[in-house]
Structure 1
Amino acid sequence: MYTLAGLFGGVGGIELGFEQAGYDVLWANEIDQKASITYKLNHQHELLVDDIHNVEPYQIPEVDIITGGFPCQAFSIAGYRKGFNDDRGNLFFEILRLIIAKKPRVVFLENVKNLVGHDNGNTYQVIIEALEMNGYHVKDKVLNGSEYGNVPQNRERIYIVAFANKNDYEKFEFPGPVRLEKTLHDVIDFENKVDERYYYRPDKCKFYHILEENIKHEGSIYQWRRKYVRQNKSGVCPTLTANMGTGGHNVPLIYTKHGIRKLTPQECFRIQGFQECFKLPDDIAVSHLYKQAGNSVVVPVVQRIAEKIKMALDANPNYEKVMENQLSFSL
């Protein structure tokens, strides 16, 4: 069984995808205290709750794979487009520092699609060249959760898989698209009443009349955009974002017989492909849970990539941990 250590673990979505593909997760790191509560509720392996700048290589066990869904704000349209000039962008080099020290057989990274085009592609080129200069062979692809994970969410992400061994690299292929069979009704409860806190009521919402005029069709996702309502007519949920926790206008809305309401945190996690058994703590604010859901990954997409990685590694049983290129990138 292949072993794994996760950086920027969040609530453990990447680790969960690899576990479902048959990997043994030994260790993970996450800085956010609230996310760590959710992580520990759902995972049994060691979680180091600390800033990645403080993580030393000796703290990470010897593993086959190191993963990292490193923070995407620095590269996102929703962020400030500062790239490596933003401290969050520089966190990639913390991943690189630990990769150089541990030399895992595989590196798996996930980020927003816009990372590829940031600064006319220069940011992404630096990332790929840094991996290649340290002996890794890199494959990457932008995958949409609705097309590759059978989840009703339009969520495009760049996935980077880097191999220390060229034979592993040559055997690996990203998974192909799958038919979208899950609907919004499969992940959202349109029938039963949920906690009253999630509903918009005339006496508690000053813009309720605008919502009432525009949100009328069950089975659609709506978004409140501060001054107007937008209906998503694609039949899937728009991309869930981390800033859902910073204001109600960022949480997708639906129409039900019990009233107009926002999605619950549980529904947001299901839209990300988390199974019903995934636990959410009841002692932290829902704003943190929304943030955690928006920051996470489409678990089935990660699982499918992990399965393809496993097939590539299985095809090379005589692998020895020898890097083909020992150049060290200047940090």
Structure 2
Amino acid sequence: MDQNHPFGGSHCKKPRRDTSISDVDGPLWLPRNGCPVGALLCDIPRLQEVLKALAAEKPNLARPKAVKDYNGRKAVHLTIEGATLLCFGQAPEAINKLLREGSVEFLPGLRLGAQRCRGPARSAEKALASNSSCFAFVELFAGIGGFRWALEALGGQCVFASEIDVDCQDAYAANFGSEDLYGDITAVDAKVVPSHELLTAGFPCQPFTRRGERLGFEDARGELFFEVLRILHSCKPKAFLLENVWNMQFLDGGHWDADPQKCVFGEVYKKVISCLEDVGYEVQSKQINSDGWVPQKRERLYFVGFRRGLPLAKDFQWPEPPANGRSLEEVLESAEMAQCCELTEAQWRAVQKSSTWLSGGAPLRFAQLEGKARTLTSSYKASFACTAELVSDPQLERPRFFTRRECARLMGFPDKCLLGNEHSENRAYHQLGNAVCPPVIKAIAEAILHSLGILPMVHRKQ
């Protein structure tokens, strides 16, 4: 693709959007309507020509397996990148030619439609438990179900979940069944989402993290935040709970300081707050470290919102972390169980040649068992040479990685949680590094539900 296109970079950089979310009558690509979506309509004889033109761009601008019948014609549903190009009038020349000829029509806003994920059915035990629920919730960008583990423990019933990654879908379905699980949220009409009291979402963090290029809303993945707004605007739940990386607060003109009074919020954070307020919510945010709930130092930014004007809403208070949390040593498996995670000789040589080992050695690279683990990232196994935290076990010849179960415990997932993905163990590490910490979510959700009058104060006790 031409590098002058708005999606011409490896991270899908796009034109900056300065239009207010309150402009309801604006074009379909405005934030209130979520990410850009749409389809090219053509007659059957022109279908292959359209598909070829879209496939000529890199990446392909057509969604995979997304050709549907529509009023006697074929609708070729576009990716977010493709729909944005059409919305901005910057379609590839081959498509522009077809549009000028009138043989192809662009229909913005046409969604592919909710696609149920295939997987095991919910067990009778879980179905019975859901019948006694005291509130309904939805989980967007669900991953492996971190929000769901927390909220079901509080008596909640998940009525809709969305996750695009097929490996995450498999792990999610293994634990909760697939009846309420759908795929890509940009393909889902908001009318499909059932009524609910609480919306939850851990929307993609890659555009905001310090480890990435920090493009914010100029990255297509950053635009997925507007899908949360779309569902909030349409469904109007009583409250929401969102999670993302703490660095989001300081992107685009802000800066962090050790003195909280000297921190300056950036434009990305300000826009998130203003957009959430514009769809009708009173919004609070807080940076919280998970180390009071789990044996891992994990700073994350949480957004809580209550629909404006709710008569039942009481003063919301952020939860305090429990005292005397578990140490890392308490969640480790035996050397026998962990033997499969021992570094190979080649891996251990690579670690010893790394800049981090040469500058800091064992104190920098080995986990402090009596303390807390460092932040678990999605690239934990892939970054073994330079950054991955390792365990020094005297019963093994070489250091080792954390096991998958240990990583799940570091995140606060119960041992009954099925990790799935037996065909690729590294995918479980990736999924856990991207997940939310269920104990932290549970504590915040308890405070939200108490404020709404759904849970009594007794549920907030640790």
TM tier, smaller: 0.7 to 0.9
CA contact (8 A) 1:115 1:123 kept: yes
- Residues 115-264 of structure 1 aligned to structure 2 (within 5 Å): 115-119=248-252, 120=254, 121-147=266-292, 149=293, 151-166=294-309, 167=311, 170-189=314-333, 191-194=334-337, 196-202=339-345, 204-205=346-347, 207=349, 210=352, 225=356, 229=361, 230-231=364-365, 233=368, 235-249=371-385, 250-259=387-396, 260-264=399-403
CA distance in 2, matches of 1:141, 1:173: 11
Deviation at 1:316, TM superposition (A): 10
Question: Does residue 235 of structure 2 align to residue 94 of structure 1?
Answer: no
Deviation at 1:46, TM superposition (A): 3.0
CA distance in 1, matches of 2:436, 2:419: 16
Aligned to 1:63: 196
Amino acid at match of 2:328: L
What is the TM-score of this pair, normalised by structure 1? 0.84
Q: 1:224 to 1:48 in 2, by over 3 A?
A: farther
CA distance in 2, matches of 1:105, 1:45: 25
CA contact (8 A) 2:251 2:269 kept: yes
Amino acid at match of 1:4: F
CA distance in 2, matches of 1:302, 1:78: 24
Q: 1:205 to 1:155 in 2, by over 3 A?
A: closer
CA distance in 2, matches of 1:171, 1:3: 21
Q: 1:245 to 1:95 in 2, by over 3 A?
A: farther
CA distance in 1, matches of 2:455, 2:389: 45
CA contact (8 A) 1:171 1:315 kept: no
CA distance in 2, matches of 1:168, 1:157: 28
CA contact (8 A) 1:110 1:160 kept: yes
Q: What secondary structure, in the 3-state scheme, does the structure 2 residue paired with 1:81 have?
A: coil
- Residues 31-50 of structure 1 aligned to structure 2 (within 5 Å): 31-44=164-177, 46-50=179-183
CA distance in 1, matches of 2:287, 2:351: 40
CA distance in 2, matches of 1:224, 1:256: 23
Q: 1:174 to 1:195 in 2, by over 3 A?
A: closer
CA distance in 1, matches of 2:167, 2:341: 21
Which runs of no fewer than 5 residues in structure 2 stay unpaired?
1-133, 255-265, 457-462
Q: 1:9 aligns with which of 136, 139, 142?
A: 142
Amino acid at match of 1:130: C
- Residues 274-285 of structure 1 aligned to structure 2 (within 5 Å): 274-281=413-420, 283-285=422-424
Higher RCO structure (Cα 8 Å, ≥6 apart)? 1
Deviation at 1:281, TM superposition (A): 1.4
Select between 299-308 and 233-242 the one with higher mean Cα deviation: 233-242
- 1:62-84: CA deviations, max 9, x gaps? 11111100010101001111001
Stretches of 4+ aligned residues off by more than 6 angstroms = none
Amino acid at match of 2:299: E
CA distance in 1, matches of 2:442, 2:220: 30
- 1:232-268: CA deviations, max 9, x gaps? 5581100001112434335421011332210011110
Deviation at 1:58, TM superposition (A): 2.0
Q: 1:227 to 1:207 in 2, by over 3 A?
A: farther
Q: 1:267 aligns with which of 371, 386, 406?
A: 406
The count of corresponding residues between Structure 1 and Structure 2 is 302
CA distance in 2, matches of 1:209, 1:125: 41
- 1:61-110: CA deviations, max 9, x gaps? 11111110001010100111100101111110111111111111111100
What is the TM-score of this pair, normalised by structure 2? 0.61
Q: What secondary structure, in the 3-state scheme, does the structure 1 residue paired with 2:241 have?
A: strand
CA distance in 2, matches of 1:225, 1:140: 34
Amino acid at match of 1:19: E
Q: What secondary structure, in the 3-state scheme, does the structure 2 residue paired with 1:6 have?
A: strand
Identity percentage of aligned residues = 32
- 1:216-247: CA deviations, max 9, x gaps? xxxxxxx9947664245581100001112434
CA contact (8 A) 1:73 1:79 kept: yes
